[in-house]
C-alpha cells in the first residue's frame, strides 16, 4: 500500500486531502498555504483530532474514485451486512454572475445506497498548526469553531448536536455538510449541495474536454492535468509545488519540507506541461503573478520561491504541536530555500513567459511591456550563469557551479533573444544571441568530462539526473555523442530497480534513500529521444503502476518497495507523467487506423 493513499479535492483556492476511507486529513484554510485546520496527516499515527470523517457501524471495505474527468471524489463504504453509502467530496467551482465562483469551502454529501447504515459524524478541527483547540458555538443549523484568528463554520441539514456530540444515527436520506467561512448558508442545504455538485461537475468536464491529450494513457494524463490545476492558486496566479508540508522523502529522515509555496522552477515545469496539454490560462495567470510579485521594476535579483499571498511568511520554523507524518517529525512551516541563491530561476521566469509572445490564441499580454520587464531578468541570467549556487536540488551545505543552473541561464538569454526579435528589437536580439552563444560554448567546454560525458557541475565529474534535460532545453541535440555517453553514466550510477536517483553522493543529510520520480520521467524522455522508445515505454508503464489508488504520485519512491514518499501530490511528478505520455504515445492517426 502506498504511503500516500490520498486524494485531493479543491477549487484553485483551497484543497483538502481525503484518505481511502473518506477521512479529511489535510485542509489548509482559507487558502492553499493557510493554517491546516485538518492536520492529522502530520500528527502521528493515531491522532485524536485534526480531521473530519464518519464512522460506519460494521464497516467491511471501502472503494474510492473520482467522478470521470472531475475533481469530485466518490467514496463508497460497505458494511458486513451489505449496507452501502456514498460520500461525495468536492470544493465548489463554476461560473456564476459572470465570474469564477470558488469559495474557500468544502462540500460533503453523504447518500444511502442500500439499507440504512448507522453512522457517526466526526469533525475535529484544530488551529495554529495543532496548538489550539477551538471554542464551539451552536446555531440552529450550524456550528462555529472559533480560534484566535480564524472561524470555521459548518452548516448541515442534520442537527448540530449530532456533529458536536458525535451521536450515531441511521442514514435514511442524503446528508450535506458545508465547511468553510463564517457566512450563513441561506438556501436549503440539500438543494444547494445538488446545485453545487451539478455545476462543479459541469465545470470540470468542460475543462477536461479542452485538453489536448495523447491517444494513449488518456485517463492518467487527464488526472494529472486536473491535479496540476488544483495546485494553482488562482487569486494571485501562483502555483504551489505540492499541497502538503513535511511528508518525509524517506522513512525516518529529517528531509521534511514545506512545499505549499511557489517555486519559480517548479512553476515553469507546470506551465510547460499545461501548455502542452492546450491549457494556457494557467500560464497567463502565472505571468500575472510574475509581474505583480517577482519581476518588479528595480528588482536586482530573484528568489527561488515566493509566497502565494503577500501575507505569508516564508521564514522556516517547526510546528511543535504536530508529531509528524506517522510520527516522523519535524513538521516544518515556511522554507529556508527562499533565501538561497539558485541561478536557474532567471531562465525559469523567461521560459515560463515565452509562449505568450508566439501563441496567437492569447490576448496581447506578451507585448513590449512584458519584454521590457523580462530584459533585466535576462541580464541577471547572463551575469549569474557561471556563479556558484545551491542548485536545483537546493543543497543547504555547499555551493557549486551546477550545470543545470548555468544551462537555464543560457536558455533564458537565448529565449529572450527570440522574444526581442518578436517585438522588433533586432539590436537587442543580436546582442543577446551573441552573449548566449558564447555562454553555450563555455558551458559545454567545462561541463563535459575527460571521458566525454556531461557532469552535474562545471569542472567536475558528478552524475546528476538534471543533465538529462539539456536536449529539451536546446543546449545540444539528443543524438550528440556527449549526451549518449551521459545516459550511459546515468544508467550505471543512478538507476536503482528501474528508478532514477537525483545524484549518488552524500548531501547535507547523508546518502539519498529514495528516487526522485521526475528524474525517471526525464530518463524516459531521454531514451525516447535517442531512439530507445520501446525501453522508454516499458519503464513508463512500470511507473504508472506505482501511482496510488486514484492515479496520483508524490515526490519520491523507494526503489526496493515501490512505496511513495514525499509531499503530495507533487507537481514535478505529474508534469513528468503528462509530458512523457505525450512523447511516447502513438499519434491519433496511428491509434485510430493501426492496431497496437
Q: Which residues of 430-444 are buried (b: 16+ CB within 10 A; e: fewer)?
A: eebbebbeebbeebb
Q: What length is written for the chain?
A: 596
* Main-chain phi, psi angles of 159, to 5 degrees: -55, 135
Q: Contact 326/124 with Cβ under 8 angstroms? A: no
Q: What is the pLDDT of residues 414-467, one digit of tens each?
A: 999 999 999 999 999 999 999 999 999 999 999 999 999 999 999 999 999 999
Cell of 380: 541577471
Separation between Cα atoms, residue 432 and residue 194, nearest integer Å: 56
Cell of 270: 507546470
pLDDT for 366: 72
Separation between Cα atoms, residue 494 and residue 517, nearest integer Å: 12
pLDDT for 63: 98
* Main-chain phi, psi angles of 584, to 5 degrees: -95, -25
pLDDT band at 275 (very low <50, low <70, confident <90, very high): very high
Residues 146-160 have a mean pLDDT of 95
Cell of 463: 552524475
pLDDT for 3: 77
Q: What is the pLDDT of residues 293-310, one digit of tens each?
A: 999 877 789 999 999 998
For 15, 33, 50, 432, 566, the CA distances from 243, given in Å and listed in that order, are: 8, 8, 17, 38, 11
pLDDT for 365: 63
Q: What is the largest CA-CA distance in the chain?
A: 78
Residues 552-566 have a mean pLDDT of 96
Q: What is the pLDDT of residues 518-556, one digit of tens each?
A: 999 999 999 999 999 999 999 999 999 999 999 999 999
State the DSSP H helix or E strand holding residue 282, giving kind and residue range, or none if neither: helix 281-289
Domains for the chain: give ranges and CATH numbers.
Answer: 6-207 (2.70.98.10), 210-593 (1.50.10.10)
Separation between Cα atoms, residue 503 and residue 495, nearest integer Å: 10
**pTM for the whole structure:** 0.97
Q: Which residues contact 553 (CB under 8 A, 6 or more apart)?
A: 517, 546, 547, 564, 568, 569, 570, 573, 574, 577
pLDDT band at 595 (very low <50, low <70, confident <90, very high): low
Q: Which residues contact 492 (CB under 8 A, 6 or more apart)?
A: none
Is the confidence at residue 90, as pLDDT, over 90? yes
* Main-chain phi, psi angles of 573, to 5 degrees: -65, -40
pLDDT for 596: 61
What string of DSSP letters covers 519-543? Answer: HHHHHHHHHHHTT-HHHHHHHHHHH
Mean pLDDT score across all residues of the chain: 96
Cell of 420: 526581442
Q: What is the pLDDT of residues 325-349, one digit of tens each?
A: 999 999 999 999 999 999 999 999 9
Coil, strand or helix at 302: coil
Residues 128-151 have a mean pLDDT of 96
How many helices (DSSP H) and strands (DSSP E) are in the chain? 15, 28
Strand partners, 500: 495
Separation between Cα atoms, residue 266 and residue 553, nearest integer Å: 15
Separation between Cα atoms, residue 102 and residue 203, nearest integer Å: 11
| β-pairing verdict for 142-146 and 84-90 | unpaired
Is the confidence at residue 591, as pLDDT, over 50? yes
Q: % helix / strand / coil in the chain, to the nearest 5?
A: 35, 20, 40
Q: What is the pLDDT of residues 61-89, one digit of tens each?
A: 999 999 999 999 999 999 999 999 999 99
Is the confidence at residue 172, as pLDDT, over 50? yes
Separation between Cα atoms, residue 244 and residue 260, nearest integer Å: 6
**In the 3-class helix/strand/coil scheme, how is 386-447 assigned residue by residue?**
CCCECCCCCCCCCCECEHHHHHHHHHHHHHHHHHHHHHCCHHHHHHHHHHHHHHHHHHHHHH
Q: What percentage of the chain carries pLDDT values higher than 70?
A: 99
Q: How many CB atoms lie within 10 A of CB 250?
A: 18
Q: What is the pLDDT of residues 3-43, one digit of tens each?
A: 789 999 999 999 999 999 999 999 999 999 999 999 999 99
Q: Which residues contact 596 (CB under 8 A, 6 or more apart)?
A: 586
pLDDT band at 1 (very low <50, low <70, confident <90, very high): very low
pLDDT for 500: 98
pLDDT for 311: 85
Amino acid at each position: 500500500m502506498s504511503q500516500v493513499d490520498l486524494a485531493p479535492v479543491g477549487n484553485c483556492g483551497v484543497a483538502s486531502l481525503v484518505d481511502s476511507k473518506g477521512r479529511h486529513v489535510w485542509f489548509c484554510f482559507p487558502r492553499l498555504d493557510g493554517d491546516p485546520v485538518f492536520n492529522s496527516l502530520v500528527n502521528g499515527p493515531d491522532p485524536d483530532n485534526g480531521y473530519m470523517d464518519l464512522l460506519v457501524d460494521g464497516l467491511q471495505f471501502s472503494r474510492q474514485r473520482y467522478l470521470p474527468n472531475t475533481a469530485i471524489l466518490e467514496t463508497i463504504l460497505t458494511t458486513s451486512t451489505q449496507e452501502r453509502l456514498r460520500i461525495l467530496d468536492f470544493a465548489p467551482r463554476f461560473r456564476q454572475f459572470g465570474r469564477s465562483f470558488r469559495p474557500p469551502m468544502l462540500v460533503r454529501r453523504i447518500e444511502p445506497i442500500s439499507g440504512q447504515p448507522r453512522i457517526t459524524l466526526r469533525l475535529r478541527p484544530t488551529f495554529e498548526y495543532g496548538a489550539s483547540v477551538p471554542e464551539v458555538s451552536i446555531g440552529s443549523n450550524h456550528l462555529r469553531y472559533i480560534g484566535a484568528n480564524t472561524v470555521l463554520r459548518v452548516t448541515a441539514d442534520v442537527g448540530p448536536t449530532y456533529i458536536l456530540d458525535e451521536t450515531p444515527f441511521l442514514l435514511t436520506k442524503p446528508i450535506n455538510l458545508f465547511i468553510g467561512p463564517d457566512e450563513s448558508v441561506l438556501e436549503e442545504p440539500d438543494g444547494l449541495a445538488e446545485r453545487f455538485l451539478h455545476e462543479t461537475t459541469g465545470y470540470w468536464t468542460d475543462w477536461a474536454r479542452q485538453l489536448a491529450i495523447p491517444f494513449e494513457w488518456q485517463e492518467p494524463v487527464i488526472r494529472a492535468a486536473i491535479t496540476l490545476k488544483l495546485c494553482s492558486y488562482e487569486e494571485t496566479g501562483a502555483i504551489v509545488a505540492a499541497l502538503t508540508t513535511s511528508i518525509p522523502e524517506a522513512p525516518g529522515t529529517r528531509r521534511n519540507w514545506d512545499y505549499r509555496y511557489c517555486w519559480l522552477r517548479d512553476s515553469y515545469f507546470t506551465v510547460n506541461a499545461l501548455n502542452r496539454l492546450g491549457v494556457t490560462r494557467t500560464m497567463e495567470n502565472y505571468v500575472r503573478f510574475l509581474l505583480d510579485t517577482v519581476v518588479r521594476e528595480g528588482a536586482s535579483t530573484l528568489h527561488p520561491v515566493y509566497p502565494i499571498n503577500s501575507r505569508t511568511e516564508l521564514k522556516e520554523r517547526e510546528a511543535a504541536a504536530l508529531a509528524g507524518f506517522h510520527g516522523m517529525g519535524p513538521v516544518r512551516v515556511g522554507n529556508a530555500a527562499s533565501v538561497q541563491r539558485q541561478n536557474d530561476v532567471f531562465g525559469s521566469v523567461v521560459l515560463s513567459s515565452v509562449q505568450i509572445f508566439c501563441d496567437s490564441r492569447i490576448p496581447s499580454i506578451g507585448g513590449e511591456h512584458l519584454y521590457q520587464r523580462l530584459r533585466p531578468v535576462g541580464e541577471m541570467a547572463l551575469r549569474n550563469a557561471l556563479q556558484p549556487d545551491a542548485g536545483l536540488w537546493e543543497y543547504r551545505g555547499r555551493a557549486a557551479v551546477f550545470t543545470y543552473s548555468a544551462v537555464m541561464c543560457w536558455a533564458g538569454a537565448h529565449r529572450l533573444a527570440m522574444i526581442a526579435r518578436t517585438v522588433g528589437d533586432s539590436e537587442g536580439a543580436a546582442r543577446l544571441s551573441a552573449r548566449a552563444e558564447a555562454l553555450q560554448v563555455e558551458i559545454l567546454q567545462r561541463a563535459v568530462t575527460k571521458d566525454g560525458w556531461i557532469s552535474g557541475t562545471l569542472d567536475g565529474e558528478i552524475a546528476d539526473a538534471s543533465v538529462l534535460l539539456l536536449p529539451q532545453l536546446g543546449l545540444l541535440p539528443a543524438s550528440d555523442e556527449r549526451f549518449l555517453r551521459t545516459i550511459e553514466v546515468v544508467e550505471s550510477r543512478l538507476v536503482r530497480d528501474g528508478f532514477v536517483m537525483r545524484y549518488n553522493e552524500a548531501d547535507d543529510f547523508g546518502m539519498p534513500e529514495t528516487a526522485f520520480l521526475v528524474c525517471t520521467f526525464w530518463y524516459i524522455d531521454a531514451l525516447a529521444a535517442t531512439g530507445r522508445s520501446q525501453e522508454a515505454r516499458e519503464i513508463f508503464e512500470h511507473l504508472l503502476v506505482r501511482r496510488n489508488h486514484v492515479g496520483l504520485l508524490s515526490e519520491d519512491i523507494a526503489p526496493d518497495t515501490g512505496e511513495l514518499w514525499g509531499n503530495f501530490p507533487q507537481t514535478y511528478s505529474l508534469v513528468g507523467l503528462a509530458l512523457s505520455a505525450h512523447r511516447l504515445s502513438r499519434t491519433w492517426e496511428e491509434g485510430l487506423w493501426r492496431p497496437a
